[in-house]
Amino acid sequence: MIVVMKPDATGAQIEHMRQHITSLGMTPQVITGQHQTVIAALGEERAGLTEALEPGEGVEKVLPIMAPYKRASSELKRERTVVKALGFEVGGKKVAVIAGPCSVESEEQIVSIARKLKELGATALRGGAFKPRTSPYSFQGHKEKGLQMLAAARAETGLAIVTEVMAPEHVPMVAEYADVLQIGARNMQNYQLLQAVGDSGKPTLLKRGMSATIDEFLLAAEYILDRGNPNVILCERGIRTYEEHTRFTLPLATVPYLNDKSHLPVVVDPSHGTGKAKLVAPMSKASVAAGADGLIIEVHEDPEHAASDGAQTITPAAFGQLMAQCRRIAEAVDRTM
């Protein structure tokens, strides 16, 4: 940690900070520059240290040196993590494809589309039973009944089930039916939920919050890893910016950046990331080219009558074309799909 003193900091203020750093269990090293003094604080950069140093008299700013996450870091664990669940695998040579409707609407619907998706190459089935909705007046999902419909689709197709869990007290129930638990973007910093999912040990797909930094994203993963659950899949789903022509802005540089900083696999959600059906296929191709380990895509037989997210949902026919195009990209980056 580097404590930058103000140009007009007094000797007494510098000495005070030196002692304060020592009292916090770190070793201070004073560096006297031409214009101002900086003090390096050597030792373990524990959480909360910045906050303890910043209010000091004469302090201009405090610059952390080390990454705040540990278990998620590629420095701690060199080999890449491969998450597996019922034949579904993310992080290996094969690009994973999680597809399905935004909401589970009926058993008939979910079984029928699961069959088609499997045939077209999907490696897992997504579908919402618990739906986080911006408005209390929107459809909130079929809840446990929806989970049972998903289980029926799995029984029929063998596809692993990826579905969202929204509250700590629902984790046991959802974990009973699902193969992979999904934490939605709005819950990325719902720490009770992260801990509950960590305790469950279940493979977990963690979506990036819509305004989370990469450090915050990896610290959210850290909450799960810290409970002894190593099966975390990171999901970039777009961030909120000033752009208006897409629902969110999909920053694909996240993919190679995370591949460098972390050992966890990374999937991309081009459906939420763009909010526009027409942009899903090109951004899927771009994701695979950027090094994504998987895709998660909203598909519905009849987007116009989908219970939610119709505008960004593609048909099975469009999904088939997307798969054919992405397979060629996957080969061009020495992967399969």
Verify binding: residue 316, its own copies, rule CB under 8 A. no
Verify binding: residue 36, its own copies, rule CB under 8 A. yes
CB of 144 to its own copies, least distance (A): 15
Helix (H, G, I), strand (E, B) or coil at 304: helix
> Of the two residues 79 and 242, which places its CB atom closer to its own copies in the complex?
242
For residues 132, 240, 245 and 311, what is the CA-based torsion angle, rounded to 10 degrees? Answer: -10
Verify binding: residue 123, its own copies, rule CB under 8 A. no
Cα 216 to Cα 4: distance, rounded to the nearest angstrom: 24
CB atoms closer than 10 angstroms to residue 154 = 20
CB of 112 to its own copies, least distance (A): 19
- Residue from the set 13, 112, 148, 246 that interacts with its own copies by CB under 8 A: 246
Structure tokens belonging to residue 109:
């619907």
Q: What is the DSSP letter of 5?
A: E
Site for its own copies in 162-201 (CB under 8 A): 166-169, 186-187, 189-192
> What is the per-residue DSSP string for 189-246?
T-HHHHHHHHHH---EEEEPPTT--HHHHHHHHHHHHTTT---EEEEE--B--S--SS
Verify binding: residue 283, its own copies, rule CB under 8 A. yes
- Residue from the set 108, 155, 331, 336 that interacts with its own copies by CB under 8 A: 331
Verify binding: residue 273, its own copies, rule CB under 8 A. yes
Q: What angle do CA 123, 129, 130 make, to 5 degrees?
A: 125
Verify binding: residue 328, its own copies, rule CB under 8 A. yes
3-state SS of 276-321 is CHHHHHHHHHHHHHHCCCEEEEEECCCHHHCCCCHHHCECHHHHHH
> Of the two residues 144 and 215, which places its CB atom closer to its own copies in the complex?
215
- Residue from the set 117, 161, 290, 322 that interacts with its own copies by CB under 8 A: 290
Verify binding: residue 2, its own copies, rule CB under 8 A. yes
Verify binding: residue 222, its own copies, rule CB under 8 A. yes
Verify binding: residue 152, its own copies, rule CB under 8 A. no
The one-letter amino acid at 116: K
- Residue from the set 19, 243, 317, 336 that interacts with its own copies by CB under 8 A: 243
Q: What is the DSSP letter of 39?
A: E
> How many residues make contact with its own copies (CB under 8 A)?
108
CB of 154 to its own copies, least distance (A): 26
- Residue from the set 306, 322, 323, 337 that interacts with its own copies by CB under 8 A: 306
Cα 71 to Cα 221: distance, rounded to the nearest angstrom: 9
Q: Going by C-beta distance under 8 Å and a sequence separation of 6 or more, which residues neighbour residue 334?
A: 93
CB of 200 to its own copies, least distance (A): 16
CB of 75 to its own copies, least distance (A): 6
